[in-house]
Amino acid sequence: MSKVRVAGFSVSLDGFSAGVEQSLGDPLGRRGPELFQWFFHTRTFRSMHGKEGGSVADIDDEFAHRAMDNFGAFILGRNMFGPVRGPWLDDSWKGWWGDNPPYHAPTFVLTHHEREPLVMEGGTTFHFVTGGIVEALERAKQAAGHKDVKIGGGVSTARQYLKAGLIDSLHLASVPVLLGQGEPLFEGLDLHALGFSVTNRKSSEHATHLTLEKA
């Protein structure tokens, strides 16, 4: 049975999953890259960007691979897609990832402003959804078929789906970093009350990987 999953989601020790002041030069916000040091060194990450090398057969690469495996559709927030705000002035912005984004599946972008679907190389098509998180999930499930749907971020999008009780599984990479400020993942959320419990925990030099499942 297909699931709705959050996977590969980093969180600092003080509860932040993105830095402040996202911009074209800082897509993860200031100090945001510190949250993903567990990911950047893996072979999975490097191969996603057409590069060779990287660690393999270690804990970080195991979870990095899982974070992109068996997904038939993705859901992203507007901020995850790019720094452009407000109405789409034109179709020039096509995401952070170049001509061949790493999704290789239908990808649904939450927005308040209509835009025609954007077909990219490698099987990724961005669909812009103005009807909210439930409509996006319904469309993503239909597109995914028997595979899972990944809620890819950013923080606000993950929080909305968690608060609505629409997430089945959550993989968090808890990293030994204190951001001090940023976008908090857990503020106002009671994961226990939402039915989650920790079902797996593995640690590497760079992160503690926690898998939370609904009972």
The reported pTM is 0.94
pLDDT in tens, 13-52: 999 999 988 888 888 889 999 999 999 999 998 888 777 7
Question: Do the beta carbons of residue 148 and residue 5 sit within 8 Å?
Answer: yes
What is the rounded CA–CA span in Å between residue 1 and residue 11? 28
As a three-state string, the secondary structure of the chain is CCCEEEEEEEEECCCECCCECCCCCCCCCECHHHHHHHHHCEHHHHHHCCCCCCECCCHHHHHHHHCCCCEEEEEECHHHHCCCCCCCCCCCCCCCCCCCCCCCCEEEEECCCCCCCEECHHHCEEEEECCCHHHHHHHHHHHHCCCEEEEEECHHHHHHHHHCCCCCEEEEEEECCCCCCCCECCCCCCCCCCCEEEEEEEECCCCEEEEEEEC
pLDDT at 105 over 80: yes
pLDDT at 55 over 90: no
Q: What local confidence, expressed as pLDDT, does residue 25 receive?
A: 86
What is the rounded CA–CA span in Å between residue 174 and residue 159? 17
Residue with tokens 């989650």: 196
pLDDT in tens, 62-91: 999 999 999 999 999 999 999 988 999 899
Q: What local confidence, expressed as pLDDT, does residue 56 receive?
A: 67
CA–CA–CA angle 76, 77, 80 (5° rounding):
80
What is the rounded CA–CA span in Å between residue 12 and residue 117? 34
pLDDT in tens, 128-187: 999 999 999 999 999 999 999 999 999 999 999 999 999 999 999 999 999 999 999 999
Residue with tokens 């439930």: 134
Q: What local confidence, expressed as pLDDT, does residue 169 receive?
A: 97
> Which domains are seen in the chain, by residue range?
4-20+33-85+95-214 (3.40.430.10)
The structure tokens listed for 169 are: 């599984």
In single-letter form, the type of residue at position 205 comes to E
